[in-house]
Amino acid sequence: MKNHNLHETILRAARKLPDDTRVPYAFEKRIMARLTSQSQPDSLDLWARGLWQATIPCLTLMFAISAWSMVATGRVPSIDPLATDLELTMIQPFDELDVEYLWWMFGRLF
């Protein structure tokens, strides 16, 4: 009962206070209207934020697996012979070009 009496006395004292004129009329309604009128966040923006937050864990996992694979094999991976063959195949035509022949062909075109 004592708490109920205290509650009633506080409410009566609050009702006796004069209205505060520093707050504009319907201020809370304008704020609530502005809050509800704000646009919803873009779904692409949410995806981009999530992907950026996932970069550090993904990079950490990548480096950990790379280190584990090097330690597990006991050696550093060597150069792939297929990659070397592909590079030689792509560069070989340029190595065999004759510069004089190119100038001769260029002169015939113009």
Closest CA to 65 of 57, 20, 33: 57
Q: Residue 58 pLDDT > 90, yes or no?
A: yes
Asked if residue 62 belongs to a domain, the reply is yes
Q: Residue 21 pLDDT > 80, yes or no?
A: no
Asked if residue 17 belongs to a domain, the reply is no
Q: Residue 50 pLDDT > 70, yes or no?
A: yes
The tally of domains found in the chain comes to 1
* Domain extent at residue 62: 46-109
Give the pLDDT score at 75: 65
Asked if residue 104 belongs to a domain, the reply is yes
Q: Are 58 and 52 in contact (CB under 8 A)?
A: no
Asked if residue 52 belongs to a domain, the reply is yes
Asked if residue 97 belongs to a domain, the reply is yes
Give the pLDDT score at 72: 80
Asked if residue 35 belongs to a domain, the reply is no
Asked if residue 85 belongs to a domain, the reply is yes
8-state DSSP, 23 = S
Residue 9 CA neighbour count, 13 Å, CB half: 6
Region 52-79: mean pLDDT is: 85
Asked if residue 25 belongs to a domain, the reply is no
Structure tokens that stand for 77 in this block: 């991976």
Q: Residue 1 pLDDT > 60, yes or no?
A: no
